[in-house]
A and B are shown apart, each in its own frame.
Chain A
Amino acid sequence: TQLLEQSPQFLSIQEGENLTVYCNSSSVFSSLQWYRQEPGEGPVLLVTVVTGGEVKKLKRLTFQFGDARKDSSLHITAAQPGDTGLYLCAGVAYSGAGSYQLTFGKGTKLSVIP
């Protein structure tokens, strides 16, 4: 089983600040996904990174996949209260017999205070 460690576990910042959350593993993934989950809802996919070293930008969010495809980071610029939520990373790895498995980290709970 591939393990994904996310840090920090909790993060509380003021509106307008920048932040970075990390997702690390000892395993190599074919791709890595970032989700955001709000209370009472299921996770919603933000981005998928596939190539080692890949950087993707989504407005104020910047996602980076490590060169070795084992780790990733999410950087938010000028955080807003609407960014509040649980951020989950998930790695896709081949699990044999033609199937792939998506493994989630435990998430970073972000609170942005107005």
Chain B
Amino acid sequence: DSGVTQTPKHLITATGQRVTLRCSPRSGDLSVYWYQQSLDQGLQFLIQYYNGEERAKGNILERFSAQQFPDLHSELNLSSLELGDSALYFCASSVGTPNEKLFFGSGTQLSVL
């Protein structure tokens, strides 16, 4: 158990819909990262938050947004969903920077039908 909790574990929805993925980091970790994993693209970095502030941005679409709340949990919002958004979405946390050990959650499997 990494200590990082992601919900829900599975999500099935239709094109055009909006979903919210939730992540609770390990106790004491200030940084939260979101990654998307698909068979063809591998693990793609989306965005990082540190203590409530956006710290780094990767290949995140404009239809996607995220935030980190004062209690340090984070949510990833995906809107106007397309078939190609179907993927595993991982949250990870670390004390501070990615130079430190990242702990990954078990992921949310999103299926857009």
Output the nearest chain B residue to A42 by Cβ-Cβ distance. B104
Please tell me if A80 contacts chain B, counting CB pairs below 8 Å: no
- Select which of A42, A92, A105 is within 8 A of B107 by beta carbon: A42
* 27 A-B contacts (beta carbon < 8 Å): A1-B59, A31-B99, A40-B107, A41-B106, A42-B2, A42-B90, A42-B104, A42-B107, A43-B43, A43-B90, A44-B2, A45-B101, A45-B102, A45-B103, A48-B99, A48-B101, A99-B48, A100-B56, A100-B99, A101-B48, A101-B58, A102-B33, A102-B45, A102-B98, A104-B45, A105-B42, A106-B43
Q: In whole angstroms, what is the CA distance A44 to B104 when docked?
A: 7
- Specify which chain A residues have a CB less than 8 angstroms from the CB of B58 in the assembled complex: 101
Output the nearest chain A residue to B97 by Cβ-Cβ distance. A100
**CB 8 Å contact bits of A22-46 with B (1 = contact, 0 = none):** 0000000011010000001111110
Question: Does the CB pair B56–A99 fall under 8 Å?
Answer: yes
A42, A99, A103: residue with the most chain B Cβ atoms closer than 10 Å? A42
Number of A-B contacts (CB under 8 A): 62
- Specify which chain A residues have a CB less than 8 angstroms from the CB of B92 in the assembled complex: 42
From 18 to 65 in chain B, residues with beta carbon under 8 angstroms from any chain A beta carbon are 33, 35, 41-45, 48, 55-56, 58-59
- Specify which chain A residues have a CB less than 8 angstroms from the CB of B107 in the assembled complex: 40-42
Please tell me if A95 contacts chain B, counting CB pairs below 8 Å: yes
Q: In whole angstroms, what is the CA distance A82 to B70 when docked?
A: 40
Please tell me if A88 contacts chain B, counting CB pairs below 8 Å: yes
Where the two chains meet, the residues of B that have a C-beta atom closer than 8 Å to any C-beta of A are: 2, 4, 33, 35, 41-45, 48, 55-56, 58-59, 90, 92, 97-99, 101-107
From 41 to 93 in chain A, residues with beta carbon under 8 angstroms from any chain B beta carbon are 41-45, 48, 88, 90, 92
Q: In whole angstroms, what is the CA distance A103 to B104 when docked?
A: 15
B43, B48, B101: residue with the most chain A Cβ atoms closer than 10 Å? B43
Output the nearest chain A residue to B43 by Cβ-Cβ distance. A104
B41, B44, B97, B98: residue with the most chain A Cβ atoms closer than 10 Å? B98
